[in-house]
Amino acid sequence: MAIGPVQLIVLGFNHPNFHGEVIDELERLRASDTIKVIDALAVHKDAAGEIEVAHLSNLTLDEAVELGTKIGALIGLGIEGEEGMEEGAELGAEAAADGMQVFDGEEWDVLEDIPNDSAAALLLIEHHWAVPLRDAVARAGGFRLADGFISPLDLVGIGLLDAAEAKELHEMEKAASAK
């Protein structure tokens, strides 16, 4: 099975409502075959920095069983406990035996970025829409060098947003992070 480009998005929430509008939008994107949510976690960090994790997903039961907890394995969260760590180590060893370096040795600590007394939604998303583009780039000998989201403020300088629109979007993001 070919898989499309995959992205981990970490969204912060001061007062989370993980079962409302965000889940509805993920469902809409799934129904249009734009994306597939491979895994989704809700992470709450209390005032002392202690973490609680719950699954958030629009996967079917069969898909959830097939895919397991991918975000936990990706960021070293250890949700599956010792058994999950052993399984991940075995898969990594098999890939290494085939000459493939699966991780670059740097730990990806997205949990550190979550402020105390807040929450985050961690979404591992497969971009179905990008499969034909990715394949065309590969056939042309191209490859991904980098990627990232661009701030609304940066879009003013290149003429994609006017200052008022950018300010409104930026203020909306800033206000949500300050609550």
For 42-57, write each residue's pLDDT tens digit: 889 999 999 888 776 5
C-alpha 158 chain-centroid distance: 27
Q: What is the mean pLDDT of the chain?
A: 77
166 phi, psi to nearest 5 deg: -65, -45
Model pTM? 0.70
In angstroms, the CA 142 to CA 135 distance is 9
Rg of the chain in Å (alpha carbons): 18
In angstroms, the CA 55 to CA 36 distance is 15
pLDDT computed for residue 83 by the predictor: 54
pLDDT in tens, 57-88: 555 556 555 555 677 677 766 554 455 455 55
pLDDT computed for residue 71 by the predictor: 72
- Are 16 and 119 spatial neighbours (Cβ–Cβ below 8 Å)? yes
Higher confidence at residue 104 or residue 145?
145
